[in-house]
A = this chain, B = another copy of it.
């Protein structure tokens, strides 16, 4: 049964799904929905996801959107996926759901608020909103502190005390990687105080090598373009 992933690699949950499929040997067709060209607003894509957001998938005649739901579906529908990605044990699984639900209103909300109102707005030619950016950074920093002090508590390398990564590690680490669109100075300010987070990102990268770097390789060139746009904007 054919699996199509409707994604744009600038979207962090799109990257999480791409890395998950590659790391698990799941065959798929990558259908790029170019957000900068507003392809997510096309009538064709509305047939795939009426919410007009990436990522979305079509597997045979089954359509699905919302990245956590997609990761869970892929882990369940493809028998080759190792148990650690989405454990069958009811208690371990519940902890994965808990961290993914927490993510929505914390790290993700903070990160989207910060990156949209600094990098993305600039790229789309929208007026920056420094107040919303500051609010996003505050929530993102608080969320990083919570990950460090609670979700990564103990000696285990991955979330909720696991020795191997789950779909939650992939979802949250890809979110944090969105900071690759920010200036080095901004990244250092936000991530620098969180050494444990930096190690966790490395561990997740190593556990999904070489796909993690491959899927994130498009970020550096975009960051350079954004830098140029910032210089131009400051001259106006």
| Chain A interfacial positions (CB closer than 8 Å to B) | 50-51, 62, 64-70, 72-73, 76-77, 90-91, 93-95, 97-98, 100-102, 104-105, 109, 146, 150
Contacts and interface: CB of A to CB of B under 8 A. Distances in A.
A94 B68 CA distance: 10
A67 to B, nearest CB: 8
Contacts of A70: 94
Given A50-B150, A77-B90, A90-B77, A65 B98 contact: yes
Nearest to A112: B105
B64 A101 contact: no
B68 A97 contact: yes
Contacts of A62: 91, 94
Given A50-B150, A150-B50, A73 B90 contact: yes
A81 to B, nearest CB: 12
Contact of A66 (B72, B77, B97): B97
Contacts of A50: 150
Contacts of A97: 66, 68-69, 72-73
A70 B90 CA distance: 11
B150 A98 contact: no
Given A94-B69, A94-B73, A105 B102 contact: no
A109 B150 CA distance: 24
Interface centre among A98, A100, A105 (most CB of B within 10 A): A98
- Enumerate the 9 nearest inter-chain pairs by beta-carbon distance, A residue then B residue, closest first: A69-B97, A104-B104, A66-B101, A73-B94, A69-B98, A66-B98, A76-B90, A68-B101, A69-B101
Nearest to A108: B105
A95 B65 CA distance: 9
Contact of A98 (B64, B76, B95): B64
